[in-house]
Chain A
Amino acid sequence: ILNVEQSPQSLHVQEGDSTNFTCSFPSSNFYALHWYRWETAKSPEALFVMTLNGDEKKKGRISATLNTKEGYSYLYIKGSQPEDSATYLCAFPYNQGGKLIFGQGTELSVKP
């Protein structure tokens, strides 16, 4: 059974703080690692799809790194803003063909 683990489960930070959280996934048979942001009452939105070991991707103040050999990815948010409050999900393909297994998510709350 494939397991995708995210930590922490929840995080409360002040506006302006930088933060990061972790996604752990099986290191064998790696295809890709996805990150999504899910705001309350909205649809999950794709942030990054990462495929190469050592890859680093950036979107504004959010960036992600990938270590496929040890099976983890970090998501970083620099200078958190209240609008960053959301649940951040990572997902790992079950196999080739698009079937994603999701982690439980990290719920981020940024207070003004």
Chain B
Amino acid sequence: ETGVTQTPRHLVMGMTNKKSLKCEQHLGHNAMYWYKQSAKKPLELMFVYSLEERVENNSVPSRFSPECPNSSHLFLHLHTLQPEDSALYLCASSQVTGTGDTYGYTFGSGTRLTVV
């Protein structure tokens, strides 16, 4: 366990399903992130909740919807996904200072998502 817990570890869903990925950290960090890794591509930042502000990558389709109810929990709601959305979804947390400096990320183990 790294201090960041993701569930589920594996998920298979149909294109018409609605599902949610969950991430939880009890490290006292004030920023949480969703990253996507597709085969042979770098980790791609999807969403950030940092110092209570949500920042998103404008290229993320609206079928992905994040939710951060408090500083310890982060969700990624999935709706009408496409097969090309199949990937590893990683959650991470970090401590960001008031000047914007960040220490290293702590990552969860990821959710391997398959859309059929």
A contacts, CB < 8 Å to B: 4, 31-32, 34, 36, 42-46, 48-49, 51, 89, 91, 93-105
Is there contact, CB below 8 Å, between B99 and A96?
yes
Contact present for A32 and B101 (CB under 8 Å)? yes
Q: Is B48 an interface residue (CB 8 A)?
A: yes
Does B90 have its Cβ within 8 Å of any Cβ on chain A?
A: yes
User: When A and B form their complex, what is the total count of cross-chain residue pairs whose Cβ atoms lie within 8 Å?
Assistant: 73
Q: CB-CB < 8 A to B102: which residues of A?
A: 32, 49, 93, 97-98, 100
A102: B residues at CB distance < 8 A: 35, 42-43
Segment touching A, from B13-21, B62-70, B78-86, B106-114:
B106-114
Per DSSP, are chain A's interface residues mostly helix, strand or loop, or mixed?
loop
Q: Does A97 contact B51, Cβ atoms closer than 8 Å?
A: yes
B101/A34 in contact, CB under 8 A = no
Do B2 and A98 touch (CB < 8 A)? no
Contact A101 B4 (CB under 8 A): no
- Provide the residues of chain A in CB contact with B99, threshold 8 Å: 96
